[in-house]
């Protein structure tokens, strides 16, 4: 089994040690030095490549403009903050419940 040597943190190296450590990167990399990503690194790479933004909800989300009384909006914001929800979650739940009752 290979013994891992503990590396000295870069900022704690002397100037000469830093120069020697950085010098190995000046040559660049050859294809022979590269190897496939490990499963863990592959997962990290895919996460970094993925576009940022809101997560998909079901088949996706559609923005809808809703108009409401400012006083009601303040109540909604207090309600969702206390329950650690998002406005859209509360509105979706309310609409689903209303449609269930109407059926």
pLDDT digits 0-9 by tens, 50-86: 777 766 667 777 889 999 999 999 999 999 999 999 9
- Tokens linked to 33: 């030095």
- List CB contacts of 79: < 8 A, sequence separation 6 or more: 85, 90
Q: Where are the domains of the chain?
A: 61-103
List C-alpha distances in Å: 23 to 4, 9, 10, 19, 79.
22, 16, 13, 6, 58
Check residue 102 and give its pLDDT.
80
Q: Which CATH architecture has domain 61-103?
A: Orthogonal Bundle (1.10)
- List CB contacts of 80: < 8 A, sequence separation 6 or more: 86, 87, 89, 90
> Looking at the whole model, is its pTM more than 0.75?
no
């Amino acid at each position: 089994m290979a013994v891992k040597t503990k590396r000295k943190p870069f900022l704690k190296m002397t100037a000469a040690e830093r120069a020697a450590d950085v010098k190995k990167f000046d040559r660049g990399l050859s294809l022979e030095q590269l190897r496939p990503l490990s499963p863990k690194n592959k997962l990290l790479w895919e996460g970094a490549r993925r576009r940022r933004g809101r997560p998909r909800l079901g088949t996706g989300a559609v923005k809808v403009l809703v108009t409401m009384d400012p006083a009601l909006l303040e109540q909604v914001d207090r309600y969702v903050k206390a329950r650690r929800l998002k406005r859209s979650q509360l509105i979706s739940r309310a609409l689903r419940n209303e449609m269930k009752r109407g059926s």
